[in-house]
Every structure is written in structure tokens, then in C-alpha cells.
């Protein structure tokens, strides 16, 4: 597995919060979805990856190299945060001129192509753009310097469902050549269900798991049963559980095996939202 991005034991301590030995790898040609509740450490992880904060421990490499030792790699990384960082009095045309001077591989024709594709005006000041239009501008600017890796921190949160779907198609196109990759933090888990190859789940500063998305969606499940049936369940096969008003919801790693074993219980498919909620709000084996 060729790694585009490798994060190993990334650690950063703040008063009341610790990013605790976060590790994961983004292979070539893949999209890694980064999930977790607000305050779990997703944005801190991304800042640590980009060198915007100084971690106490850990290592981050792109294509096997440290950014500090190979600053030219920054040309190969496109970044989009939730919220545009350009001056509000600039126009998209002026943004293109500025970025064209900053990036060696800036492709002005590609930038204008994305602006047209996203239905963005070139000569309107940024302060007059909607939140969704600003989000699209940020994505167009990130793609137009032809990066090999994209880091997206809630980049689609300001878009309506139709435009989000169009943007997800753009991300899928980006990784089609099997050489590019994306790290995508999003609280819109349905987006990740559509495009992600892997999911890394961060909770309270720690990585709970990194798994293929298809394993979560097509193998994991939720057993819904009463107290008596819950008491007979094998704890070794329970990832997390939660007591609801009239039943227990139990997250299991093999829903087909659970259907064979617990014939009197209902076993449903698990969405990424379901998994997140049960891990965060439910109980887990120590």
C-alpha cells in the first residue's frame, strides 16, 4: 500500500484536551473520511498535519517526506477550510491573479473552467457571495494549482444538497487516476458514505478505529432487542450498545452472523451516523 499521507502518534496537549497519539494512513487513489463529534480533535489533527500547530510528539509524512524538510511539497497539497480566508474585498478574478503568482503550477484556464462549472461570477467581491459560493470558490482555488493531495475540513458544509452532490463528483474525479488522494473531515456523514474509501473515527482526541467504509456499511449492523435477549448476548461480539426506552441497540461487526445467532431480534443495517452515535453516546467494553 503506497501511502500519500502517514500520520503516526500525533500528540498535542491543550488545557482540558489532548490529541492522543493519533495515527492513520491515506493510501494512493483513496478518500479518507475523518469523523467525530464536535471537539473530538478533527480540526486539531488537520492543523497538526499541516504544521499549523506544533505537536509534542508524532510524525507526519507526505509521500514519505516531512513537510518541514521538504517545503516544496506544499505545492502538491490543496487545502480547503470551513470558511474562506481571502480578503472580502477581493474578486475571484483577483484571487486567481494572486494565486497564479504564488503557485508554480497554477492553471488559470482550469480555474476559470471550475468557476464556470460552479456558476461563480469572476468580478463580484467575495463579501457579496453566499456561504455556498464562497465554499465553491475555495474548492476551485485549491484544485487550480493542480495538487496531488487535498485536505478538506468541512469544505462542503455551506453547500445545498444538489451542489454538494456535484462537488462529491469532482472529488471522485480527482482520485480516479489512483495517484491522488483526499483527507476529508465532514459532519455530513452521508457525503462520506458516497465517496469515502476509509473512515477514521476520532473521539475525545483518540482514534477509535480506521476501517474500510464498505466494511462499516455492509458488514456492521445494529441488533435491536429487549432486556432479556440483551442479557444473553455474547459481550465479545458487541462493539457498543445503548439502552433506549423500550429496547437495547447493540452495534455488532457482523450483521449476518448476528441474524443467524439472534433469530428473535431485529438486525438492521448501520449507517455511519448510527455507528458514531452508538460509540459516542453508548457504552463500550473496556
> Does the pLDDT of residue 158 top 90, yes or no?
no
Cβ-Cβ contacts under 8 Å for 162 (sequence gap 6 or more)? none
Q: What is the pLDDT of residues 128-140, one digit of tens each?
A: 998 888 989 999 9
Q: What is the mean pLDDT of residues 218-227?
A: 95
Q: Cα separation of 199 and 213, whole Å?
A: 6
Does residue 18 have a pLDDT over 60? yes
At residue 285, does pLDDT exceed 90?
A: no
Question: Sorting pLDDT into bands at 50, 70 and 90, what band is 286?
Answer: low
Beta-bridged to residue 212, according to DSSP, are: 198
Q: Which residues of 41-62 are buried (b: 16+ CB within 10 A; e: fewer)?
A: bbbbbbbbbbeeeebeebebbb
Q: Is 151 helix (H, G, I), strand (E, B) or coil?
A: strand
Q: What is the pLDDT of residues 70-114, one digit of tens each?
A: 888 999 999 998 777 788 999 999 999 999 999 999 999 999 999
* Mean per-residue pLDDT over the chain, rounded: 93
Calpha distance 131→137 (Å, rounded): 10
pLDDT over 80 at 201, yes or no: yes
Q: What is the pLDDT of residue 220?
A: 97
Contact (CB, 8 A) for 192 and 272: yes
d(CA 221, CA 234): 15
Alpha helices in the chain (DSSP H): 42-50, 92-102, 108-117, 131-144, 161-174, 189-195, 213-218, 227-232, 255-261, 272-281
Tell me the longest C-alpha to C-alpha distance in the chain.
68
Looking at residue 1, its pLDDT comes to 54
Q: Per-residue pLDDT averaged across 164-182, rounded? A: 93
Angle, CA of 184, 32 and 237, to the nearest 5°: 125
Q: Give 242-275 pLDDT, tens digit per residue.
A: 999 889 999 999 999 999 999 889 999 999 999 9
Amino acid at each position: 500500500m503506497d501511502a500519500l499521507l502517514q500520520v503516526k502518534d500525533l500528540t498535542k496537549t491543550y488545557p482540558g484536551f489532548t490529541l492522543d497519539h493519533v495515527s492513520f494512513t491515506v493510501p494512493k487513489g483513496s478518500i479518507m473520511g475523518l469523523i467525530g463529534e464536535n471537539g473530538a480533535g478533527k480540526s486539531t489533527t488537520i492543523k497538526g498535519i499541516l504544521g499549523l500547530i506544533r505537536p509534542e510528539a508524532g510524525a507526519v509524512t507526505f509521500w514519505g517526506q516531512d513537510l518541514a524538510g521538504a517545503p516544496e511539497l506544499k505545492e502538491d497539497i490543496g487545502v480547503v477550510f470551513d470558511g474562506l480566508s481571502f480578503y472580502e474585498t477581493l474578486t475571484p478574478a483577483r484571487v486567481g491573479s494572486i494565486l497564479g503568482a504564488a503557485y508554480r503550477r497554477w492553471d488559470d484556464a482550469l480555474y476559470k473552467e471550475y468557476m464556470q462549472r460552479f456558476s461563480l461570477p469572476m468580478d463580484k467581491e467575495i463579501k457579496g457571495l453566499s456561504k455556498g459560493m464562497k465554499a465553491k470558490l475555495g474548492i476551485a482555488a485549491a484544485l487550480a494549482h493542480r495538487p496531488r493531495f487535498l485536505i478538506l475540513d468541512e469544505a462542503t458544509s455551506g453547500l445545498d444538497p444538489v451542489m454538494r452532490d456535484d462537488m462529491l463528483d469532482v472529488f471522485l474525479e480527482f482520485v480516479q487516476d489512483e495517484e491522488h488522494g483526499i483527507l476529508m473531515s465532514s459532519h455530513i456523514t452521508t457525503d462520506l458514505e458516497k465517496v469515502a474509501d476509509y473512515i477514521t473515527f476520532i473521539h475525545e482526541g483518540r482514534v477509535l478505529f480506521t476501517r474500510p467504509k464498505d466494511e462499516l456499511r455492509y458488514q456492521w449492523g445494529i441488533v435491536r432487542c429487549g432486556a432479556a435477549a440483551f442479557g444473553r448476548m455474547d459481550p465479545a461480539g458487541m462493539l457498543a450498545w445503548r439502552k433506549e426506552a423500550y429496547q437495547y441497540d447493540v452495534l455488532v461487526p457482523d450483521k449476518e452472523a448476528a441474524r443467524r445467532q439472534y433469530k428473535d431480534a431485529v438486525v438492521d443495517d448501520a449507517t455511519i451516523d448510527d455507528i458514531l452515535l452508538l460509540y459516542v453516546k453508548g457504552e463500550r467494553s473496556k
